[in-house]
Amino acid sequence: MQVATGKSILNGIAIGPLRIYKKEETETTVTSGLTPEEEYTRFEAARVKAQEQLGELYDKALDEVGEENAAIFEIHQMMLEDEDYLDAVKSIIETQNATAEYATETTGENFSAAFAAMEDAYMRARAADVKDISRRVVNILSGREDADMLSDQPAILVADDLTPSETVQLDKTKLLGFITRHGSSNSHTAILARTMNIPALVGVDFSDDWDGKLAVIDGYNSCVYIEPAPELLTTMEEKRSNDLKQEALLQNLKKKPNVTLDGREIKVYANIGNAGDVGLVLQNDAQGIGLFRSEFIYLDSEDFPTEDQQFLLYKRVVETMAGKKVIIRTLDIGADKQAGYFGLDKEENPALGYRAIRICLTQKKIFKTQLRAILRAGAFGTVSIMFPMIISVREVRDAKEVLEECKAELRERGVAMGEVEIGIMIETPAAVMMADELAEEVEFFSLGTNDLTQYTLAIDRQNPKLDNFYDSHHPAVLRMIKHTVEAGHRHGCWVGICGELGADQTLTETFLRMGLDELSVSPAAILPLRKKIRGLDLSKEPET
C-alpha cells in the first residue's frame, strides 16, 4: 500500500480504480500562408464559437451547481472579450505573421504566467482560467477535440490539472473523485467539486504507474491510499457506507422546510471551523452558516493572516453558499485557543482573561484587518458579523464604531463591500442579564451555550475532572436561554443557538417552545435534527 497526501476539497470517501488522464499536446504551426487579416478573422470566428460554447456550459452549470457557481463561465466569456487579451493575440499575429492557433496559445501562456506570478491568491487562481479559454479557442481553430477524460467504468480521475469547464463537463455517473497535481483549494474547480459533492484532492504528487490501480481518497484526512491494505479498505468502505446512509437521509429531507407537524418553522444552520468545511454544509443542506469560527484561520497561520488572505477565504465560503446567510464570528482567540505569534501572556485564569473581543478592542489593528476582509466578502453574498464574549453595551458600541471606521476606509479605497447584519454571541451571564439593552444595539443574538454553561455554572469546560458537574441541562442555563429569547424578541432581534446544546435532540422541543428562531449545529447533526423537528407537534402537551 502506498499513501500520498494533498489538500482535500471535500470531506468524503471515494473508492475505485485510478484513471490517469493526459491532455493531448499537439505541435501548433507557427506560420501559415494566410495574411494577418485572414488569421485574425479565423481567430474572431473561433472566439465567437467559444463564446457560444461557454453560454451552453453556463446553462448546464446553472442547472447543476447554481447561479453563483455557474458565474465562472460568464467570467470566461468576459476574459474572451478582454481588450488586453485580444490586443495581445492580434499583435502576435501581426508582428510574427503567426497563425491564430499559435497567437492564442502563446497569449494564453503569457497571461497565465503573469497571473501565476501575482501576490493575490485569487488572481493566481485565474491562471488556469485563461489557459482554459485559450485551449478552447485553439481546439475550435484546429478541429481538435479533447479525448474523453473518463472511460466507461466509474473511476477516480487523476490529472495534472482540471479546468472549471472540464470539471462541469465530466460525466458524474462515471466520476468517483479526482486527484490533481496542481490546482488550489481556492480555484473555481475546487468550488465546483465541493458544490457537486465530489471527493477530491489537489496538490498530489502522483506517478504514472498508479494508472488502473485500486485507490481510496480519504477526504477527511487529506490523503489517498493506493492498493489499500484489506483492513483499511474495509474501514473505508464502512465510512463510505455511513456517508451514503447520511446522503439517503438527505435525499429524503433535502429542500423540505424545517417545520413541526403543527407548522412552527425554525432555521437550521451549520457551524464551521474553516473554509474547507463548506462542502459538508452543502452536502447536509444547511440553510446557512450560523457560526464560522474564524479564529481557526489564525490558528492555522504562522503569522497574522492579511486582509487579502482572509478576504479570499471568506469570499470562497460566501460564494459557495450562493446567497445563503454566512455568519462570521470575529476572532475568538485566547483561553484554550492560542497562537504563538500573538505573544499572549500566560494567565492564571485564561477563560476569564484576555480573549476574544477584549483582544480585538485592545489591538485594533488586528480587529480592523479582519473586519475589512469580512466587509469585502459581504459584496459576494449574504454576510453577518458576530462579536463573541460580549458583556456590555459599551463593548458592542465600540465594536460597531471600529466597524464604521473600516467601512470608511474601504469607501476611501474604492473597494466594494456588502451590507452586513450585526449580531453578538450571548455566552456570559452578564450578556443574558443585559439582553434587553444589548438587543437595542444589534439585529441578532446567538447563544454560545458552551461558554454560557461554563460561566453560569462556574465550571471550567476544559477540565475533564469536572465533566460530571458540567450540566448543560441545568435549569439555570435553560432559564438564561429563555430569558435571552424573550428579551431579544421584545426588541426585534432574532435569536439562535450555536453552542453544542443546539444539537441536543432531548431539548429540541423545549427550544422550539421557547421560541428560538435558529439552531446552528455541526454539519453532521443537521439531518438528524431536521428529522426531529419535522416529527414534533407543539400543539400537544409537552411530554414530561
Q: Are 332 and 355 in contact (CB under 8 A)?
A: yes
CA distances, 219 to each of 211, 315, 319 (Å):
20, 22, 21
Strand residue runs (E) in 163-316? 175-180, 200-202, 214-218, 223-226, 267-272, 288-293
**448 scored as a contact of Mg ion (CB under 5 A):** yes
Query: With contacts defined by CB under 5 A, how many residues of the chain interact with Mg ion?
Result: 3
User: 140: which residues sit within 8 A by CB, 6+ positions away?
Assistant: 46, 49, 50, 53
| 395: partner contacted, choices ligand PEP, Mg ion, none (Cβ within 5-8 A by kind) | none
**293 scored as a contact of ligand PEP (CB under 6 A):** yes
User: 163: which residues sit within 8 A by CB, 6+ positions away?
Assistant: 128, 129, 131, 132, 135, 189
Residue 401 buriedness (CB in 10 A; 0-12 / 13-18 / 19+): exposed
Catalytic residue among 360, 406, 493, 498: 498
**504 scored as a contact of ligand PEP (CB under 6 A):** no
- Separation between Cα atoms, residue 226 and residue 210, nearest integer Å: 7
Single residue of 129, 451, 460, 517 touching Mg ion by CB under 5 A: 451
Catalytic residue among 188, 360, 406, 493: 188
User: 395: which residues sit within 8 A by CB, 6+ positions away?
Assistant: 357, 361, 387
Segment near ligand PEP (CB under 6 A), from 53-61, 127-135, 449-457, 464-472? 449-457
**449 scored as a contact of ligand PEP (CB under 6 A):** yes
Our answer to whether residue 493 is catalytic in this structure is: no
Q: What is the 3-state secondary structure (H, E, C) of 481-537?
A: HHHHHHHHHHCCCEEEECCHHHHCHHHHHHHHHHCCCEEEECHHHHHHHHHHHHHCC
Q: Are 20 and 158 in contact (CB under 8 A)?
A: yes
Q: What is the DSSP letter of 34?
A: S
**16 scored as a contact of Mg ion (CB under 5 A):** no
Segment near ligand PEP (CB under 6 A), from 26-34, 155-163, 442-450, 521-529? 442-450
Binding mask 410-439 for Mg ion (x = CB under 5 A): -----------------x------------
Q: Which amino acid is at 227?
A: E
| 53: partner contacted, choices Mg ion, ligand PEP, none (Cβ within 5-8 A by kind) | none
Single residue of 451, 504, 509, 517 touching ligand PEP by CB under 6 A: 451
Least distance CB 52 / Mg ion (angstroms): 52
**295 scored as a contact of Mg ion (CB under 5 A):** no
Instruction: Give the closest residue to 125 by CA, choosing from 93, 162, 171, 97.
Output: 162
Q: In terms of CB distance, is 180 or 449 closer to ligand PEP? A: 449
**448 scored as a contact of ligand PEP (CB under 6 A):** yes
**427 scored as a contact of ligand PEP (CB under 6 A):** yes
Q: In terms of CB distance, is 335 or 420 closer to ligand PEP? A: 335
Q: In terms of CB distance, is 373 or 386 closer to Mg ion? A: 386
Residue 17, SS3 per DSSP: strand
Q: In terms of CB distance, is 222 or 453 closer to ligand PEP? A: 453
**523 scored as a contact of ligand PEP (CB under 6 A):** no
Q: In terms of CB distance, is 228 or 290 closer to ligand PEP? A: 290
What residues from 323 to 342 belong to the interface with ligand PEP (CB under 6 A)? 332
Q: What is the 3-state secondary structure (H, E, C) of 38-81?
A: HHHHHHHHHHHHHHHHHHHHHHHHHHHHCHHHHHHHHHHHHHCC
- Separation between Cα atoms, residue 530 and residue 519, nearest integer Å: 10
Q: In terms of CB distance, is 332 or 460 closer to ligand PEP? A: 332
**460 scored as a contact of Mg ion (CB under 5 A):** no
**450 scored as a contact of ligand PEP (CB under 6 A):** yes
* Residue 504 dihedral angles phi and psi, to the nearest 5°: -80, 105
**472 scored as a contact of ligand PEP (CB under 6 A):** no
Residues facing residue 300 across a β-bridge: none
Q: In terms of CB distance, is 330 or 449 closer to ligand PEP? A: 449
Q: Which set of grid coordinates corresponds to residue 500? A: 453544542
- Separation between Cα atoms, residue 102 and residue 507, nearest integer Å: 67
What residues from 483 to 502 belong to the interface with ligand PEP (CB under 6 A)? 498-499
**132 scored as a contact of Mg ion (CB under 5 A):** no
Q: In terms of CB distance, is 276 or 448 closer to Mg ion? A: 448
- Separation between Cα atoms, residue 76 and residue 495, nearest integer Å: 42
Our answer to whether residue 188 is catalytic in this structure is: yes
Which residues are designated catalytic? 188, 498
Q: What residues make contact with Mg ion under the rule CB under 5 A?
A: 427, 448, 451
Q: Which residues bind ligand PEP (CB under 6 A)?
A: 291, 293, 332, 427, 448-451, 498-499
